[in-house]
A and B are shown apart, each in its own frame.
Chain A
Amino acid sequence: MTKSRWLFRLADGILPYLASLTYFLLLIEAVSYIGFLHQFIGFNSLFFLYSNLLLLGFLSIWLISHPKEELSFYTHFFLKLQSFFLLPLVVIYYIFYLTEQANYDNFVYTTFHVQPQNARYIVILAFWLTLFYLFVSSRRILVQKKVFKSRTQVFNWFNLTIVLYVLLMAFFVNNSINTVGLSIENVIFIFRNPTLSYDRKMFESWKYFYPQMQFVNQHSPETAVIAIPPAQNHWLTDGNSVVVRYFVYPRKVVNLIESEVGTETLYLMPDTSYTHVLLTKGSWQDPTVEFGWPKIPFPVSKIYYQMPDGTASVSAVNTFDPSLEVNKNSYGLIEL
């Protein structure tokens, strides 16, 4: 027996045991976490998964280049047996995945003590083992049914065609999981909230920012020119002039170009004329600067503070004082 044939026989003999062990270890880490086994054996289950895939790769290449070789009866039997579990495993995984999408992250782990993102590796192993089985058994069937005269002819014809179909199926499975998941997530939301208003839908996407902009519209005329902060630090959204403009149009928006270093632009006001100033605490996290804009005092006629329920608390002061806590932590509109 040549050295390479000896290797083939060894790989053929190992495959059922390695695959069985891998299934077991993947199951352990599906109910715990990836890396759980590492503390005991120095490897996690993915190491065994990749070993299986490497072994399948070696066997595939050997069988392609030696069309008359066969796998042992025991390996053939094991592959056939495990192929019956592929469909149930896919169905179970899909149920877990969609259940998670329909509820919240970690719902499945909390309820069933199974991590869907780890359980998918069991499906991946079953998928590749089953495909390998189909690849091997197609030689026999096509020769038996006299579609091809010999196994050599099968391989000459089907080698890369099978690989291409495998890739196309993998492409489909990989994409359809995410597509179906996203569809279900959206459809469930729609059926739970069929009569949501436009304002509520925009709030779902823009959170606090949408009611903030609605507040500006309610307390300024359409001819207003509104000064907003530069788009930096806490004000990456509130200071983005094209975003703000969409929500407050036909009102105009003016601001300074943001500084890429330092915070000095936060202490300057736009040099073009404006009628109102956006009062905004800011929402992005940045430890280098305090919340609250504007940061300098200036004469005003009114300040509209946005209350949590969306109504306005009006303060008729003469000067805007940025040092006051209420001015640092509020949202609203300043009228000049």
Chain B
Amino acid sequence: MLFFIDLLLIILVALPLVQFLAPGTNVWEKIALGYFVGFGIVTYGVFLSHIWFSVPITFGLYALIMAVLFLIGIWLNRTQLLKNFQTFKVEALRKKFLASVSNVNWFKYAVIILVFLPPLLSVFIDSYWPIRDWDAITLYDFRAKVVYITHNFQPLIEQYSNYYFAYPMFTSLSNAYFYFFGYANPMAFYGANFLFFAIIFYSRLRSKLGFVAAAFFTALISYTFPIFSHSLIAYANLPYTTFLVAGYLYLFTWVTEGKSNWFWIGCLLLGISIWNRDAEPFWVSALLLVAIQSYRLKNFKFIGYFIANVVFFMAPWAWYKGLVVPDTTSTHALSLTHSILTLTSKHLVNMVVYLFRYFVEPYMLMHAIFIISLIIFIQNRNYKAWPVLVVIVSNYLIVLAGTGYLSLTYSKWLNVGGSLERMVLFFIPLSIFFAAQVLHTRPRKK
């Protein structure tokens, strides 16, 4: 119960900012965005306050950052809020509520419940279990508990710092939030992450498609087994996937609708994905999209804003990590130059096999869906879904280049295939979104 109160609290404090950034969205999408924006900004604010101003990480610091976030949101919305306050009438609200209750479409509600059943079950199941999976307890939740007990990162710096600072602190500080606010079990944070992502996915589809189509394609995401199973473990992979894809979705909306508020919210979510896992370079495909759209609009300031956003979320962590981790060179590191010069055909074959085993084979149907969608996209000659295509294709190239780089610079690269399989989870919602757009685009007449 305490978990849900804590969750609601952080959503509420973020709502004013969400209202400013995404005014045209429905209430459910706003709540989902409140979750994403709330946890992202609050945890990052706590982190920056601690590393720059040496403020101990306590309940008070979380409360202060939340209060600041809330007040900033109120201040940004002050004109609209004042207007609403002046025109507020209880009777009008009562009539609106009664009208919504009397016009219930039970079929639609039944479909919605079925579509969102796996994420809801995920929250239910997560509420029961404590955090118990390997990386969750050794890294993410351990960091959270250290922060809760000592109010700083000192025990993490003293021992095994290269392990504890391998990834940024988003999930750990999110877990710590629940510990500070009544020592609630944070496990359901990951189920909630899945649920709110599904809501955003549905809302972005619904803005362009009919109810049945949006429900169908959202169900494909809700019932996707790799995503569902990740929502039952407290790893950073699913939050990374959801923040990244949500960021992409809002950038797609910016490209198609042209309103800059979508750009800002897409940027913010992509930045928070970097705060989640900074080593993954998939923000580069979003930068490419922003660059292309900036060229089309003949307004290049968006590129500058995007890069500044990436730097804002990446640099402080990189700086702090460099400070506290004495030697970040892995014992298994190889010289890139030497590796390129001694490249053999066997190495290339190993790379192909590695990519097939951990990237192609586990997601065979997804790749087939993308390829067929691409052929239809080309056949239709109606290229409205081009932003999605740019992002997917560039991410395929990043995976290829990244695997090549890893194989040439890390001697144990063949042992980390599982990481690749988890890292590319985001291709699933992107491919489904692309298929949805392609199927609902009319072919251009000859």
Contacts and interface: CB of A to CB of B under 8 A. Distances in A.
A211 to B, nearest CB: 14
Contacts of A252: 159
A160 B379 contact: yes
A242 B228 CA distance: 27
Given A161-B376, A252-B159, A179 B130 contact: no
Interface stretch (A20-28, A99-107, A200-208): A200-208
B20 interface: no
Interface in B105-150: 118, 121, 124-125, 128-130, 132-134, 137-139, 141-142, 145-146, 149
B439 interface: yes
A172 B129 CA distance: 27
Interface string A166-183: 011011101110111011
Nearest to A163: B372
A77 interface: no
Interface string B350-373: 000000000000000110110011
A167 B225 contact: no
A206 B132 contact: yes
20 contacts: A161-B439, A164-B435, A171-B366, A176-B223, A179-B225, A179-B229, A182-B228, A182-B229, A183-B118, A183-B125, A186-B232, A202-B130, A242-B139, A243-B137, A245-B160, A246-B137, A246-B141, A246-B145, A249-B145, A249-B149
Interface in A145-193: 157, 160-161, 163-165, 167-168, 170-172, 174-176, 178-180, 182-183, 186-187, 190
Contact of B121 (A176, A187, A202): A187
Contact of B132 (A172, A183, A201, A250): A201
A250 B155 contact: yes
A168 B225 contact: no
Nearest to A177: B225
B212 interface: no
Contact of A202 (B132, B365, B372, B432): B132
A160 B366 contact: no
B220 interface: yes
Interface string B158-198: 01100100000000000000000000000000000000000
B339 interface: no
A190 B187 CA distance: 15
Contact of B163 (A157, A167, A179, A242): A242
Contacts of A243: 134, 137-138
A241 interface: yes
A190 B128 contact: yes
A163 B370 CA distance: 12
A170 B367 CA distance: 13
Interface string B430-442: 0010010011000
A236 to B, nearest CB: 12
Nearest to B373: A164
Contacts of B133: 205
Contacts of B137: 243, 246
A91 B366 CA distance: 25
B1 interface: no
B93 interface: no
Given A179-B225, A246-B137, 8 more contacts: A160-B372, A160-B375, A167-B369, A170-B365, A175-B223, A245-B159, A246-B145, A249-B145
Nearest to A194: B128
A182 B137 CA distance: 22
A175 B376 contact: no
A206 B163 CA distance: 22
A198 interface: yes
B142 A249 contact: yes
**Residue of B118, B125, B223 contacting most chain A CB atoms (<10 Å):** B223
Contacts of A190: 124-125, 128
Interface in A237-262: 240-243, 245-246, 249-250, 252-253
